[in-house]
Structure 1
Amino acid sequence: MKLLLLATTALLLGAGTAAAQDQTYDWSGVYVGAQIGYGWSKSTTRVDIVPVWITDVHHNATGVLGGLYAGYNYQMSNNIVLGLEADINAADLEDKTDDWILSIGGVSGTLSNFIPTSFKMSWNGAVRGRVGYAVGRFLPYVAGGVSFGGYKLRFHDKTVATHSSTRIGWNIGAGLDYAVTDKIILRAEYRFADFGSEKFSVYSFPSKNDLKTQEVLFGIAYKF
């Protein structure tokens, strides 16, 4: 019985000490990490072939992405954590289609096997502010800021027309960091980015592209 009491007391003291250490974990500092994830996008391109026609082509590109991130956190006395972070990713979000949506006078229909098209986002990145609340070694947070991305549209009619661009937009997201050790931090995050609209021309026809992306990312970082 005495041995059982001693063992129980030792376990309780150990658990209490571990909990106290977790509660005093300080998120302040610089960190660098690597991430990988899955992304999907919604791209709508409108081409004014005939003024009274509304001709749209939709691409729902999906694929993997991954890269590096770095940032700085500052933990206040009330456990609120403020941070600034930047990342850059290589991406392979791609979709192909030859179906177009034709609208005339409010009536819409699908033009199948019309003009083959492809969309590909090859990279993206962001600069974001972060606000979190430290719960020991857990840090749930929200983040938002400016997004950047490079993509290419190709139209395969009698000749190939290509439009490449670097877009700037805004993003918002949420995630959870977990400090496995004092130096190693794991992460899971969701992010939404809106790159707005961009005007250009395809085969000399006025065109416009709207682009939005979503991502789920998993990362591991080293805190200095």
Structure 2
Amino acid sequence: MRSLIKLAAVAALAVLGPVATAQAQSMVAPMVTSNMYQPTSSAWDGFYLGAQGSLIGMKSHESAPGILPPPEQLLGDIGGSAGVFAGYRYQLTDWFVLGVDAEVNNVATQFEYSGLNYGALKWDAAVRATLGYPVAPNVLAYGTVGYSWGRFDLSPSRGVTTEFTAGGFQLGLGVDMMVTQNIIARLNATWTHYGVNNVPGGGTSEPSNQVVRAGLAWKF
């Protein structure tokens, strides 16, 4: 009788053993190695095109003989702008994303002196290089360095047409988020210094600004 029981137990183990082993293996999380997943392209790679709105804080050191009393006056105003931007990104590694970004904006802001309109920034444009770090699969934090151009109009203070284009270096920080596979939402801020410029008719102008932008882009 005992021999029969032993034979039955051996037979059961022979039949059920492989099934139990397979079941146990299926309950263990698979091991992931560096060779198992090799993406052919990054989610951030490619071109994008979008529209944005901005809040601008302006200031400028102005020298205008016969118009402003010495010393130079610091003039400031807060206004806004609307424009378009475009760019291209390429992911070098899991940690670095390089890119180039450009924008052009129609600006509505002005300088004021003694409560009067002294002049205005009419439009600006910029091109910049970007270096990004993916803080999440769909979120990219980045820094920018570039060059910006602005068209300034000081005609209200001079009484005659007084316009000039100034250029200067720009630094910035931002974050982009992929809302969907093709839609990118962005928020960034820049500081631009346009240098010291000779104003037609006499005097100098040294404008700078701080800009906060929010926009949406389509990724191709």
| Alignment TM class, shorter chain as reference | 0.7 to 0.9
Residue in 2 that maps onto 1:73: 89
**Aligned equivalent of 2:52:** 35
Distance 1:193 1:177, change over 3 A: same
- In the aligned structure 1, how far is the partner of 2:125 from the partner of 2:157? 29
Q: Any gaps of 5 or more consecutive residues in structure 1?
A: 1-19, 100-115
Task: Check whether the contact 2:58–2:111 (CA below 8 A) recurs between aligned residues.
Answer: no
CA contact (8 A) 1:59 1:119 kept: no
CA contact (8 A) 2:42 2:91 kept: no
Distance 1:57 1:162 in 2: 21
Cα distance in 2 for partners of 1:200, 1:190 equals 28
2:143 is aligned to 142
* Preserved contact between residue 25 and residue 136 of structure 1 (Cα < 8 Å): no
| Partner SS state of residue 63, structure 1 | strand
Relative to the length of structure 1, the TM-score reads 0.73
- The answer on 1:217 being equivalent to 2:216 is no
In structure 2, the gaps of 5 or more residues are 1-36
The count of residues paired between Structure 1 and Structure 2 equals 179
Amino acid at match of 2:213: L
Task: Tell me which structure has the larger Cα radius of gyration.
Answer: 2
Q: Give the TM-score normalised by the residue count of structure 2.
A: 0.75
Cα drift, residue 143 of structure 1? 0.5
Partner Cα distance (1:168, 1:219) in 2: 24
Partner of 2:164: 165
Q: 1:94 corresponds to which letter in structure 2?
A: Q
8 A contact 1:48–1:55 mirrored in 2: no
| Contact kept in structure 1, 2:62 and 2:206, CA below 8 Å | yes
Q: Is 1:154 aligned with 2:155?
A: yes
Residue 88 of structure 1: which of 68, 81, 104 is its match? 104
RMSD of aligned alpha carbons: 2.3
Q: How far apart are residue 162 of structure 1 and its match?
A: 3.7
Instruction: Give the percent of matched residue pairs that are identical in Structure 1 and Structure 2.
Output: 28
In the TM superposition, structure 1's runs of 4+ consecutive aligned residues that sit over 6 Å from their partners are none
Worse overlay, 190-199 or 70-79? 70-79
